[in-house]
Amino acid sequence: MKIYSIGPNAFIVDFDTSDLVIASFKYLRMGIPHLFEEVILGADTIVIKAAEQVAITSSAIAEMLNDVGAIAGGRDQKDIEIPTVYDGLDLDSTAALAGLTVREVIDLHCAAPYTVSFLGFAPGFAYLVGLHPSLELPRLSSPRGLVPKGAVAIAESYSAVYPNPSPGGWRLIGRTELNLWDPSAPEPALLQPGDRVRFVERRIW
């Protein structure tokens, strides 16, 4: 683990392995919430902004994170199933590009157990890791102006569900009616870092 400061109140923590990233994030966000205005999880990094009036150093953060390995045991990840109808606009072209049949694409996408790596891009948008390598394909060369809410998509090594309508360049393979974003809930984002996810095929809603 390496900690770099950018100015007096922002830090980037680089993790060598992804094992402790999520546990460290949860500790910084929930264990000592008053010290930080923002704690942002990336794929293998955490960006930290100290709260106003808080003076903190890289070495102080390093010391806090040293303890995380010991407490990372009893975690609180959820298991979530995402019922999905596989009829996305890019399903056929995705299969062609991957050299697979549509049936194989669906089976590979459903077979994999995924983990929520981090959230970004839009409110409640979770980057899921665990995609089968034969489904790793680049983003669309030109993003769509509007992707509908609930679209199930893949891009590069990630899968995701669009929580709300937005522009987007991922390959749309299906859709779900599961609500991923509820701003009135105590935790607005259904998918939290570390949660385990499976896509389950539904024929029709």
Nearer to other proteins, 95 or 166 (CB): 166
Q: What is the enclosing helix (H) or strand (E) of 196?
A: strand 196-201
A 10 A CB-CB count for 78 gives: 12
Give the shortest CB-85-to-other proteins separation in angstroms: 24
What's the token pair of residue 94? 């995705």
> Contacts with other proteins: how many residues (CB under 8 A)?
36
Side chain identity at residue 114, one-letter code: Y
Nearer to other proteins, 174 or 193 (CB): 193
A 10 A CB-CB count for 148 gives: 14
Pick the piece of the chain touching other proteins (CB under 8 A) from 64-72, 80-88, 96-104, 122-130. 122-130
How many CA within 13 A on the CB side of residue 69? 7
- Helix-then-strand count for the chain, H and E: 5, 13
Is 149 one of the binding residues for other proteins (CB under 8 A)? no
Give the shortest CB-2-to-other proteins separation in angstroms: 8
Q: What is the enclosing helix (H) or strand (E) of 2?
A: strand 2-6
Pick the piece of the chain touching other proteins (CB under 8 A) from 42-50, 67-75, 99-107, 168-176. 42-50
Is 12 one of the binding residues for other proteins (CB under 8 A)? yes
The residue ranges that bind other proteins (CB under 8 A) are 4-7, 10, 12, 14, 25, 29, 37-47, 49, 118-125, 127, 164, 166, 183, 188-189, 193
